[in-house]
């Protein structure tokens, strides 16, 4: 089983003047450590890593730096493994940028430090297209937000005056709809739920029993624990587990 000490953290940078890549760092940010702890704390993530490594020559040796092109070659060479990790990250309801990061754990025992500039507390979108694109990211309350819109050009002083006059209403909306902490810290809530669905599936429980038991245990997930949602997780898990279990049986025969 992988432990935190087994993972080296890396930072995306240039490994020479022309080659983009990753270099090992000694002091990763707290958010990056939190993500790795969440993943390694997942029994299903650990299970997938063990199965995928059993029938490949992974993990490969990492020597303090690696280029982006080398990472892409690994993704192509181990495309089945990458797709499996991709599906698991999807099931965990984590953001797609983590697909490569989780694959790098599988392939090299490394994890790229998160760029926290991608998770700003406040951002500005200058036109309808940018607003629409941001709303796509924020769909289904995955990234809850409140907004101030401009119907015409305003000066800095006019904007400050408007904020001062309307601050009580803004503050009320912030308190009601937005998390108090960085949204990143609330992104791991589905991992335990998916772990339990996987384990109950492995133990032979049918979908109705899984939905009933988890609905009682996690009433806050009632809107998510639909037949289709749970069935999607079960079907994906059964297919992957069957695929890799057959490979293990073939190898040991």
Max CA distance (Å), the chain = 76
In the three-class reduction of DSSP (H, G, I as helix; E, B as strand; rest coil), residue 65 is classed as strand
Give mean pLDDT, residues 115-139.
Answer: 70
Beta-carbon contacts of residue 2 (< 8 Å; ≥ 6 apart) = 40, 46, 49, 105, 109
pLDDT of 253 above 50: no
Distances (CA, A) of 242 to 24, 51, 235, 239: 36, 11, 11, 5
Q: Give CA–CA dist 35/161, Å, rounded.
A: 40
Which tokens hold the place of 25?
A: 């760092």
Rg of the Cα atoms in the chain = 22
pLDDT band at 44, cuts 50/70/90? confident
Q: Give residue-wise pLDDT tens across range 177-224.
A: 665 544 455 567 678 888 888 888 888 888 889 888 888 887 877 766
Contact assessment for residue 28 and residue 16, using Cβ atoms and an 8 Å cutoff = no
> CB-side exposure of 122: number of CA atoms within 13 Å?
2
Beta-carbon contacts of residue 140 (< 8 Å; ≥ 6 apart) = none
| pTM for the model | 0.68
pLDDT band at 130, cuts 50/70/90? confident
Exposure string of 58-71, with b = 16+ CB inside 10 Å and e = fewer, is bbeebeeebeeebb
What's CA 192's distance to the chain center, in Å?
Answer: 13
Q: Give residue-wise pLDDT tens across range 51-90.
A: 899 878 899 999 999 999 999 999 999 999 999 899 888 8
């Amino acid at each position: 089983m992988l432990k935190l000490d087994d993972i080296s953290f890396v930072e995306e940078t240039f490994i020479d003047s022309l080659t983009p890549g990753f270099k090992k760092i000694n002091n990763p940010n707290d958010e990056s450590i939190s993500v790795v702890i969440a993943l390694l704390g997942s029994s299903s993530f650990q299970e997938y890593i063990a199965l995928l490594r059993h029938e490949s020559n992974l993990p490969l040796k990492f020597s303090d730096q690696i280029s982006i092109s080398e990472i892409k070659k690994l993704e192509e060479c181990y495309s089945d493994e990458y797709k499996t990790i991709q599906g698991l990250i999807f099931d965990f309801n984590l953001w797609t940028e983590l697909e490569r990061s989780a694959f790098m754990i599988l392939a090299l025992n490394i994890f790229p430090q998160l760029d926290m500039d991608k998770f700003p507390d406040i951002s500005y979108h200058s036109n309808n297209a940018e607003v629409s694109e941001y709303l796509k990211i924020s769909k289904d309350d995955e990234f809850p937000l409140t907004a101030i819109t401009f119907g015409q050009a305003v000066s800095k002083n006019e904007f400050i005056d408007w904020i001062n006059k309307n601050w009580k209403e803004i503050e009320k909306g912030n308190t009601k709809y937005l998390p108090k902490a960085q949204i990143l810290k609330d992104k791991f809530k589905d991992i335990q739920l998916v772990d339990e669905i996987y384990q109950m599936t492995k133990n032979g429980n049918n979908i109705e029993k899984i939905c009933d038991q988890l609905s009682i245990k996690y009433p806050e997930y009632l809107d998510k624990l639909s037949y289709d949602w749970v069935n999607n997780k079960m079907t994906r898990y059964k297919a992957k587990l069957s695929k890799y279990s057959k490979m293990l049986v073939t190898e040991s025969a």
